[in-house]
Structure 1
Amino acid sequence: MSTGMSLCYSAMKQKLSHLSLGSSRRSVAISGLLLLLFYTFSFNYHTSQSLVASYLPFRLSWQLSSPSPGTDTPTNISHLVFGIVGTVNTWNRRRPYVESWWRPNVTRGYLFLDRAPSKELREWPPSSPPVRVNEDITRWGVLRRVRNRVPIRIFRTILEMFRQGDKDVRWYVMADDDTVLFVDNLVEVLSRYDHTKYYYIGSSSEFFMSNFLLSFEMAFGGAGYALSYPVVEMLATELDACIKRNPWLYSSDIMLHICLTDHGISLTQERGFHQVDFHGDISGFLSAHPQSPVLSLHHIDAIDPIFPSMNHSEAINQLMKPAQVDQSRLLQQTICYHRERKWSISVSWGYSAHIYENILSRSFLRRPMETFKPWMKRVKPPLYMFNTRILENNPCIVPHVFFLKSMENASCDEIVTTYTRASKSRLPSCALGGNHSANPISRVQVFSPRRRHIEAGRMECCDVLADNQNTTKVRLRPCMFGEVIA
């Protein structure tokens, strides 16, 4: 098509060269040329721009259109605004969770409290997000029909956050004060989406009954969710009207879901948001994390500390150490085999390592061990939104468990994370595996590339380097073409 247009322009130039300088004929020729230029620009601007410039005796100094400022730049942390919902009564206890991921003078956002801070909280630390107090809506007429006003306060936090007037915002991220966020992964995941479109991004609960009672198509707010700027801009004018239409709703999450559904916006699922609707020990879940960047962990107070011999805040800070180095690899599971000893080794980077005294399939090891308890008691199956492994006293399928102890630079381009044994196994060796006991192993060292693990859709592979009397060493690497992990 460009050749045809070049011939067209050549013919036009030749014809114009034979025209007299008479004003009448010159006007007709110029008019015809302008019409041709208009048609060409309208049909294919990018192709015609260079052609037109080469044939005109003057330079084009204008453009037909230009992108909005900043919309063509990659999304970064400055484009996100965080809205954290808390209460005065819970803030002192939950403050360490928020401060573990909040970056002063880097992250933008606000902590919204239900009332003004008490005297002991008046001197607000710079390590915490700026504080705001939710608007007083006690005189709002519709509240007479509402039994619980807390969900409305939480829902309206979206509106109040928008009214702060932050500039150059692409995404608003909502979470609770007992939620830990992984900001680098959030930026990476949200950068995959077009922030100029209508996006409502979050995740369902892990617990089947929570979804059944509320909605399978709803983002659970404790896990956190992200709203693109156009969605929040729309909500700013429609949110209160949504509440007035549905005063009977008892959850801020279902309010948002129904309001957005009424406006044709559905949930986009991201598996890295975690409501953590569990009780007890969730190490089995974290050791077999979905193959997706971890974005959040909620209900920190409702579960056991995620590392043994630590309190809740110490355990979260321990997880944040590898998160500060490489969030893209954090909790990502890698599986390899020690063929000589017939061991299967599973690594959840930055958290745990498991040694099994038997060769087990990857599909089996990808299922989380059910170390945790369901969110509600006396509930019949199905309990969870994923398959699990029931705990058994079988030495061939029960792992030796090691938790992150330390991390350091192995070289200029490699990091070594060290995992130490949680406890000695009381089971005999696995006869099927040849009775090669892993009891003598007290630590596992994992060597990983310093570069970020960003290959989508495929986990990493690994090799067992060596093992001596008490240490097993593993090196992570990209999987080779056609490599089967079995």
Structure 2
Amino acid sequence: MKLRRKYQPGGVKPSSRPFHCSPLKVILWLCFSVSLLYNLYFLDFLDYSITPNNIKYYLSKPCILNIEEHENEGNTSLRHLVFGIAGSSRTWSERQKCIQLWWRPDEMRGAVWLDKMVGYGIDDHLLPPIKISGNTSHFKYENPIGDRSALRLTRIVSETLKLGLNDVRWFVMGDDDTLFFPDNLIRVLSKYDHDQYYYIGSTSESHQQNIVYNYGMAYGGGGFAISYPLAKALANMQDRCIERYPGLYGSDDRIHACMSELGVPLTKERGFHQNDFYGNIFGILAAHPITPLVSLHHYSVTNAIFPRMDKLEALKKLIAPAKLDSAALLQQSICYDATRNWTISVSWGYAVQIIRGILHPREIELIARTFYSWYQTVEPEGFIFNSRPYYEHVCQKPFVHFFSDVSYNISTDQTLSEYIRQDYPYPRCEWKMADPLPIARVEVRKRPDPYVWDRAPRRNCCRILPTEKNDTLVVDVGECREDEFIEVR
């Protein structure tokens, strides 16, 4: 029996009435929709096991029901980047190990440019292809302390462009001892229009280095990116430009000279790290600026970033948290344990510091000078950033807990990272307050937020959580709630 709506005189006639579903049609449509959603959800999500290799799928995959977002091919991704890596046959056997840490053979394009061919190894499939730089013997090189290899390295952008790869938006330059964090690199480059002329990177952290070379230059070891149209413009004039600057030292200042002739300034992004330091760069990593970590350079001249580890193994350890939440890597959060009068500083994925007494955010966000400058000095005026002594009183020497492990709980959508106290002698303190020494372990709970850098930059807040474990401190890190700010409560 058909269900009919009774026609009311003076009303809208059935033939001209707006579209209306009968109750039976509504029920059938709801059943179909529920069935469709059920299949989409279970086929797309539950057939994947949670392993370190595919956990990023869950953290970055857009909702499959948002068709417009799911099918949007306009977003910049790794397939739009081409890497040009400056290398040398003399150091290749060692430096290739650094590249293996971040290179993704199935997702990335590019090449390592060497002065001559080297022997093939069993891990070559894990590395970019090797290309041999063109002859530069006809160019003048007059710098008394430099090396002619700077000339061939200057031309990597042009030679990589000539490879003729399709659908390129950015050329990314780096050294063979540069550790890139590819997901964060994409986050940074996605902010810019790749159809415009962009030259993106950062300067040295050494004031004197920038005085000797240039504050407007992107340092090659930290890496830099050049948009495709700018790379084409550079290739058209680069060889003539190189001839005009025979006295310059390196490849990066020659690139900068050509950029000056093209009228393109450096767009500075602080996540590219030249790392012109010697010694222990703990202070740098524990107070990273509020920006995505894009690169680290000079691992061979600085200490291992984790204690009692080989330098490359220490870098590899940093990759583990990056796989789960690269957007949060090294981001500093500051909070207080008011009952014990402690300051807590979390550098997510790297270290947690417990400091006796109250240090205000304005102090604790300063980089602690645990390192030497490129010129073997420790004076604060030698750096381009504000800094502070590692500690000014023996009672304020930080109790440092280094990253140990991380896991992801799909039911709570949280990572649980573990930090273990560094085992070394701490000075005796006469202050009448709780001693952090019994805290052997710190747990940090955090919900991954792959889109955090799509919003205005802001430091995450952290909160001390209750626990019955006397040897453990539990901290929650996350986006600051409404009206929340960092204060002693």
TM-score normalised by the chain length of structure 1: 0.81
Match of 1:480 in 2: 481
Deviation at 1:393, TM superposition (A): 5.7
Residue 143 (str. 1) matches residue 148 (str. 2): no
2: CA distance between counterparts of 1:124 and 1:403?
31
Residue 247 (str. 1) matches residue 269 (str. 2): no
1:161 counterpart letter in structure 2: T
1:445 counterpart letter in structure 2: E
Match of 1:44 in 2: none
Match of 1:42 in 2: none
Deviation at 1:98, TM superposition (A): 0.6
Match of 1:86 in 2: 87
Match of 1:359 in 2: 358
Deviation at 1:351, TM superposition (A): 0.4
2:373 counterpart letter in structure 1: P
Residue 438 (str. 1) matches residue 439 (str. 2): no
Deviation at 1:290, TM superposition (A): 0.7
Provide runs of 4+ in structure 1 moved above 6 Å. Answer: none
Check conservation: 1:85, 1:176, Cα contact below 8 A: yes
1: CA distance between counterparts of 2:123 and 2:183?
26
1:111 counterpart letter in structure 2: V
Match of 1:111 in 2: 112
SS of the aligned residue for 2:463 comes to strand
Match of 2:447 in 1: 449
Residue 96 (str. 1) matches residue 94 (str. 2): no
Q: Please, what is the CA RMSD of the aligned residues?
A: 1.9
2: CA distance between counterparts of 1:157 and 1:405?
39
1:461 counterpart letter in structure 2: C
* CA deviations over 1:65-98 (Å, ceiling 9, x no partner): xxxxx99711111101111111111111111211
2: CA distance between counterparts of 1:407 and 1:484?
27
1:317 counterpart letter in structure 2: K
Deviation at 1:424, TM superposition (A): 4.2
SS of the aligned residue for 1:88 comes to coil
Unmatched tracts of structure 1, length 5 or more: 1-69
Most deviating of 465-474 and 232-241? 465-474
Check conservation: 1:280, 1:372, Cα contact below 8 A: yes
SS of the aligned residue for 1:135 comes to coil
2: CA distance between counterparts of 1:440 and 1:250?
52
Q: What is the correspondence of 1:295-444 to structure 2 with a 5 Å cutoff?
A: 295-377=294-376, 382-392=381-391, 394-412=393-411, 413-429=413-429, 431=431, 434-444=432-442
1:403 counterpart letter in structure 2: F
Q: How many residues align?
A: 411
SS of the aligned residue for 1:143 comes to coil
Check conservation: 1:112, 1:133, Cα contact below 8 A: yes
Check conservation: 1:393, 1:427, Cα contact below 8 A: no
Q: What is the correspondence of 1:190-339 to structure 2 with a 5 Å cutoff?
A: 190-339=189-338
SS of the aligned residue for 2:164 comes to coil
Q: What is the correspondence of 1:108-187 to structure 2 with a 5 Å cutoff?
A: 108-117=109-118, 119=119, 121=120, 125-138=124-137, 140=138, 142-143=139-140, 148-187=147-186
2:396 counterpart letter in structure 1: I
2: CA distance between counterparts of 1:305 and 1:288?
17
* CA deviations over 1:207-230 (Å, ceiling 9, x no partner): 111101000111000000000001
Percent identity, please.
Answer: 39
2:438 counterpart letter in structure 1: P
SS of the aligned residue for 2:252 comes to helix
Check conservation: 2:461, 2:485, Cα contact below 8 A: no
2: CA distance between counterparts of 1:144 and 1:265?
25
Deviation at 1:188, TM superposition (A): 0.9
Check conservation: 1:358, 1:430, Cα contact below 8 A: no
1: CA distance between counterparts of 2:72 and 2:142?
43
2: CA distance between counterparts of 1:457 and 1:249?
37
2:443 counterpart letter in structure 1: Q
1: CA distance between counterparts of 2:425 and 2:393?
11
* CA deviations over 1:228-271 (Å, ceiling 9, x no partner): 00110111111101011222222211111111111110000000
* CA deviations over 1:141-188 (Å, ceiling 9, x no partner): x33767631111110111111111110000000000000001000111
SS of the aligned residue for 1:258 comes to helix
2:110 counterpart letter in structure 1: G
Check conservation: 1:357, 1:395, Cα contact below 8 A: no
1:101 counterpart letter in structure 2: W
SS of the aligned residue for 1:94 comes to helix
- Give the 3 Å change call, closer, same or farther, for CA 288–430 of structure 1 in structure 2: farther
Check conservation: 1:464, 1:474, Cα contact below 8 A: yes
2: CA distance between counterparts of 1:307 and 1:466?
28
2: CA distance between counterparts of 1:201 and 1:450?
27
- Give the 3 Å change call, closer, same or farther, for CA 124–450 of structure 1 in structure 2: closer
SS of the aligned residue for 2:98 comes to helix
- Give the 3 Å change call, closer, same or farther, for CA 164–71 of structure 1 in structure 2: farther
- Give the 3 Å change call, closer, same or farther, for CA 83–144 of structure 1 in structure 2: closer
Check conservation: 2:333, 2:347, Cα contact below 8 A: yes
SS of the aligned residue for 1:96 comes to helix
Match of 1:3 in 2: none
2: CA distance between counterparts of 1:124 and 1:351?
28
- Give the 3 Å change call, closer, same or farther, for CA 226–416 of structure 1 in structure 2: same
2: CA distance between counterparts of 1:95 and 1:414?
34
Higher Cα radius of gyration: 1
- Give the 3 Å change call, closer, same or farther, for CA 360–240 of structure 1 in structure 2: same
2:441 counterpart letter in structure 1: R
1:143 counterpart letter in structure 2: K
- Give the 3 Å change call, closer, same or farther, for CA 145–408 of structure 1 in structure 2: closer
2:484 counterpart letter in structure 1: E
Match of 2:64 in 1: none
SS of the aligned residue for 1:326 comes to helix
